[in-house]
């Protein structure tokens, strides 16, 4: 493949077509079902599906067929099939994946920025969902078009764009079963929903953490009572929650305590972590918007990366039962509830971890308070198979040609439930898991952005891999 010619074509289609489409896509508040229970009635999800479907259908992709697949009571899925091209075999398949649902708005957006207000500044497209993961459908198809533009062969390609990923992809297994024969047996999976250590080279994700999330609640009263009358007699629901959380983590260091949430870290992942730390240095922690004076956790960058990729970590992402400051009266509150998000090492089973956490939190409650932990998201992580020599060579070629630096391998702290599913469904497949969520891109948070030049080069790297996949040596 002539990378320069492909890059020129991809830059053009991004500038003329993809960026304008992403601008319109960002305006659609198509929140994932977990955050919008009335998503069907609101119609925003359908707006996003139709927009992406119509753009893809209008592109010049030889032989492509596509449809919006719908199963009763489930979010829709866009299915595209592109037959083998240039004399390649239809017996081999590349499966490409992305999603179009979004996280909720979140507070704290900078002046002039907002979740549903697309803004382009310094080559970055700000707004919710452009980087996570609206660009994936456009980028995947553009990469295939770049290959066909040079009249190079490629094997059969299938593209799945789901609408439930930010809710744990609970609809996706039903579509995988429904489309099993049409998907086939992929030998390569390409997913554009992951991260990058910097914007200066290609980053391949080789592991993803899992998650066990749910709501922990402690009830002590049936209604609020004057704090002067009740305190000292009625236990504090907040104090009960604190005691329960102490079963999960060390309050001083943040270290997760239950051993059942840990896993052995493979030697290869340790080596890749060291290489990542050497390449990034203090960029490992400087990428975060720390408040002045706050120190990063852990004593060195290797430990920080391991904490983010191969160790459990607990976050508190929501609270209920506590009034805002301006509404806080002298009342001992009847209950406190907290949303817990436990990130899990790649090889820990998410369902098993959720059950164990429930047992840990609900056993022998302090003051005999009424305590419950209701799990709502349990997802296992993913650990990539060994990278085939042809794939490493292709990734290196693409990264050097597009960025001038070699490919890097990294663990990722987030969860893509689809990867664990595919790892089980297609154990012989190779995986190119990558994405544009680099430093300060802030997916799920305020000021999320898509780094446009980086995404354009990433699209060319995908085109390189599609080309090399067809010509790979299987000996």
Tell me which residue has tokens 């009763």: 72
Asked whether the beta carbons of 45 and 101 are under 8 A apart, the reply is: yes
Average of per-residue pLDDT values in the chain: 96
Per-residue tokens: 414: 């987030």
- Phi, psi for 424 (deg, rounded to 5): -75, -45
CA distances from 228 to 56, 96, 234, 325, 335 (A): 64, 61, 11, 18, 17
* pLDDT of 474: 62
Q: What is the mean pLDDT of residues 122-141?
A: 98
CA distances from 12 to 18, 76, 192 (A): 9, 30, 20
Instruction: Map residue 398 onto helix, strand or coil.
Output: helix
End-to-end C-alpha distance for the chain, whole angstroms: 22
* pLDDT of 422: 82
Asked whether the beta carbons of 68 and 137 are under 8 A apart, the reply is: no
Q: What is the mean pLDDT of residues 356-377?
A: 97
Q: Which domains does the chain have, with CATH numbers?
A: 3-208+383-470 (3.40.630.10), 210-277+300-379 (3.30.70.360)
Asked whether the beta carbons of 247 and 362 are under 8 A apart, the reply is: no
Name every residue whose Cβ is closer than 8 Å to that of residue 238 and which is 6 or more positions away in sequence: 322, 333, 336
Q: Is pLDDT at 241 greater than 90 in this prediction?
A: yes
Apex CA 114: angle with CA 129 and CA 140, to 5°? 20
* pLDDT of 63: 96
Pairing of β 408-412 and β 203-208? parallel
- Phi, psi for 400 (deg, rounded to 5): -65, -40
Q: How confident is the model over 55-108, as pLDDT tens digits?
A: 999 999 999 999 999 999 999 999 999 999 999 989 999 999 999 999 999 999
Name every residue whose Cβ is closer than 8 Å to that of residue 266 and which is 6 or more positions away in sequence: 383
Per-residue tokens: 74: 């489930």
Tell me which residue has tokens 């799945």: 160
- Phi, psi for 133 (deg, rounded to 5): -145, 40
List strands edge to edge, sheet with 408-412.
382-383, 203-208, 408-412
* pLDDT of 473: 73
Per-residue tokens: 161: 């764009």
Q: Is pLDDT at 8 greater than 80 in this prediction?
A: yes
> Distance between CA 308 and CA 261 in Å, rounded?
14
Asked whether the beta carbons of 466 and 139 are under 8 A apart, the reply is: no
Nearest CA to 385 out of 418, 422, 437, 333 is that of 422
Q: Is pLDDT at 356 greater than 70 in this prediction?
A: yes
Name every residue whose Cβ is closer than 8 Å to that of residue 203 and which is 6 or more positions away in sequence: 194, 195, 196, 197, 407, 408, 409, 410, 434, 438
Q: Is pLDDT at 454 greater than 80 in this prediction?
A: yes
Does this model's pTM top 0.75? yes
* pLDDT of 427: 87
Of all residues in the chain, what percent carry a pLDDT higher than 70? 100
Q: How confident is the model over 150-165, as pLDDT tens digits?
A: 999 999 999 999 999 9
Nearest CA to 354 out of 251, 467, 214, 473 is that of 214
* pLDDT of 121: 97
Asked whether the beta carbons of 206 and 308 are under 8 A apart, the reply is: no
The runs of H, that is alpha helices, within 254-349 are: 267-280, 283-286, 301-309
* pLDDT of 53: 98
Q: Give the lowest-confidence range in 256-265, 420-429, 464-473.
A: 420-429
Q: What is the mean pLDDT of residues 289-303?
A: 96
């Amino acid at each position: 493949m002539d990378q320069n010619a492909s890059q020129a074509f991809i830059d053009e289609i991004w500038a003329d077509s993809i960026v304008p489409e992403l601008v319109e896509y960002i305006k659609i508040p198509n929140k994932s079902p977990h955050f919008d229970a009335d998503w069907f009635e609101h119609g925003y999800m359908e707006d996003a599906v139709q927009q992406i479907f119509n753009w893809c259908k209008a592109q010049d992709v030889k032989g492509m067929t596509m449809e919006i697949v719908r199963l009763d009571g489930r979010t829709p899925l866009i299915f595209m099939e592109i037959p083998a091209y240039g004399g390649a075999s239809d017996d081999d398949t590349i499966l490409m994946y992305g999603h179009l649902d979004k996280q909720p708005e979140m507070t704290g957006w900078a002046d002039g920025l907002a979740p549903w207000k697309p803004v382009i500044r310094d080559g970055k497209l700000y707004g919710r969902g452009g980087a996570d993961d609206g660009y994936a459908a456009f980028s995947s198809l553009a990469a295939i078009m770049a290959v066909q533009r040079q009249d190079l062969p490629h094997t059969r390609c299938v593209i799945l764009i789901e609408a439930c990923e930010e809710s744990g992809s609970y609809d996706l297994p039903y579509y995988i079963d429904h489309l099993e024969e049409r998907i086939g047996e992929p030998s390569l999976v390409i997913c554009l929903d992951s991260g990058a250590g910097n914007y200066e080279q290609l980053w391949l994700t080789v592991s993803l953490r899992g998650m066990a999330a749910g709501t922990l609640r402690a009830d002590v009263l049936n209604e609020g009572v004057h704090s002067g009358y009740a305190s000292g007699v009625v236990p504090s629901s907040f104090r009960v929650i604190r005691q329960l959380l102490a079963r999960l983590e060390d309050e001083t260091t943040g270290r997760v305590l239950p051993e059942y949430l840990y896993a052995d870290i493979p030697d290869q992942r340790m080596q890749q972590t060291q290489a990542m730390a050497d390449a990034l240095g203090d960029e490992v922690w400087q990428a975060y918007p720390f408040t002045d004076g706050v120190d990063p956790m852990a004593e060195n960058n290797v430990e920080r990366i391991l904490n983010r990729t191969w160790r459990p970590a607990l976050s508190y992402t929501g609270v209920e039962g506590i009034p805002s400051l301006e509404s806080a009266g002298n009342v001992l509150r009847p209950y406190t509830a907290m949303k817990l998000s436990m990130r899990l090492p790649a090889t820990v089973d998410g369902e098993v971890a959720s059950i164990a956490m429930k047992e840990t939190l609900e056993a022998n409650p302090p003051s005999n308070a009424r305590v419950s932990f209701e799990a709502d998201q349990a997802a296992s992580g993913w650990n990539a198979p060994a990278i085939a020599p042809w794939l490493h060579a292709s990734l290196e070629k693409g990264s050097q040609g597009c960025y001038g630096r070699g490919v890097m391998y990294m663990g990722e702290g987030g969860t893509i439930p689809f990867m664990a599913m595919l790892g089980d469904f297609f154990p012989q497949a190779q995986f190119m898991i990558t994405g544009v969520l680099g430093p300060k891109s802030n997916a799920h948070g305020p000021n999320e952005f898509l780094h446009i030049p980086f995404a354009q080069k990433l699209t060319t790297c995908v085109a390189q891999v599609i080309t090399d996949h067809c010509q790979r040596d299987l000996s």
